[in-house]
Amino acid sequence: MRYCSKAAQEKRRGFIDPRTKLALVVIIALFVLGGIGGEQMEPVKTGLSALPFLLLLVERQWRRFLHGLLVLVLGYGLLLAMPYLPGVLNYIALMCGGILTRFVVTIVMGEYLIGTTSVSEFICAMEKLYMPSTITIPMSVMFRLFPTVAAEWRSIRRAMGMRGIRFGGTKAGQVVEYQMVPMMTSCVRIGEELSASALTRGLGAPVKRTNICRIGFRIQDHVLLLLCAAVIGVWILELCGVTLWWS
């Protein structure tokens, strides 16, 4: 069968539009992490906290789901155990538990966004949100380079092992130097070649860039966006002093 790029792009399309995911990230960060809103918002926040876990399940991201769950359980476990622990351990448990439970929801949401969005989808979404190319170009380069930087790093660590260069705790500075110098040198060289290749293919032309990636709002996006609007609505009502439910 002949290859049809349009159909293939359509098939690869994510379950949720990246813009919707971004909206969710912001809402969850504001209300759950930022703790905006008073008593009335508590049930809303509980619901929001569950949302990223739910989404991970829907998209069958089992590993990320379990990771998130594990951290959550660990956090609450520490908080519960805290009063029974002696002295210093008590503080440590408290601090770890407090911070873990605070950040875990937003981090899981971030994990969801990163795990389920392809780079091209994300860049496309940024372009549709009218981000200027001054932001989108560096960001796409950055996403492109992450695997490269990681691979170089691994390769350098291996090379150090092979050369038999090992350090005790006292030479931390030298470890940094030995790792950073070759890594930066090779990343910068790869970056130069990448620039050359991109520029000969017309990057930076003063025309409106097209993007063949297919994104757009569908029913599931509308539901989630409505949800975001509702959360803000409840908050505004609360600010106005309306009592919505008795808790």
Partner 1 sequence: MSKTENKLKGRDLINVGIYSAIYFVILMAVAMLGMIPIFLPLLSVIVPILGGIPFMLFLTKVKKPGMIFVMAMIMGIMMLLTGMGPWPLLTCAVAGILAELCYRSGDYKSAKKAVVTYGLFSLWIWGNYLPLFTDYEGYFAQRQSYGQEYINAVQRLMPLWMAPVLLIACFGCGVIGGMLGRALLRKHFAKAGIA
Partner 2 sequence: MSFVYGSDNAATKHENSLRNVSLAVRDGEFVFLTGPSGCGKTTILRLINGLIPQFYPGTLSGEILINGKSVSDQELYDTAGLVGTVFQNPRSQFYNVDTTGELAFSCENRGLSEADIYKRIDETVADFHIKSLMDRNIFHLSDGEKQKIACASVSVAGSEIILLDEPSANLDYEATMALREMVIRWKQQGKTIVAAEHRIAYLWDLIDRAVILRDGQIVWELSGAEKDGLSISELLEMGLRSTVQEPPTDVLLPDFAYGDEPIVLQDFRFSYRGEKREIVSIDRLKLAAGEITAVTGANGAGKTSFLNCLCGLEKRCKGIMEYKEKIYGRKERQKICFMVMQDTGNQLFTESVLEEVLISSPKSAEDAEKKATELLRQLDLDAFLDRHPQSLSGGQKQRLAIACAIASGREMLLLDEPTSGLDYAHMMETAQLLKRVQAMGITLLVVTHDSELIHACCGRKIVLKRG
Residues 224/41, Cβ–Cβ less than 8 Å? no
- Separation of alpha carbons 21 and 24, rounded Å: 5
- Give the CA radius of gyration of the chain: 23
96 forms part of the interface with partner 2 (CB under 8 A): no
Nearest distance from residue 211's CB to partner 1, in Å?
Answer: 17
Which of 51-59, 61-69, 80-88, 208-216 is the region at the interface with partner 2 (rule: CB under 8 A)? 208-216
Q: Give me 20's structure tokens.
A: 């919707």
Q: Give me 233's structure tokens.
A: 């609505």
Nearest distance from residue 220's CB to partner 2, in Å?
Answer: 23
Q: Name which of 90 and 148 has its Cβ closer to partner 2.
A: 148
Q: Name which of 21 and 213 has its Cβ closer to partner 1.
A: 21
Residues at the site binding partner 1, with contacts judged by CB under 8 A: 22, 25-26, 28-30, 33-36, 38, 42, 79, 82-83, 90-92, 94-96, 98-100, 102-103, 105-111, 113-114, 133-135, 137-142, 144-146, 148-150, 153, 176-177, 180-181, 183-185, 187-189, 191, 194-195, 198-199, 203-204
Q: Which residue ranges make up the site for partner 2 (CB under 8 A)?
A: 2-6, 8-9, 12, 118-120, 140-141, 143-144, 147-148, 152, 155-156, 158-165, 177-178, 181-183, 185-186, 189-190, 193-213
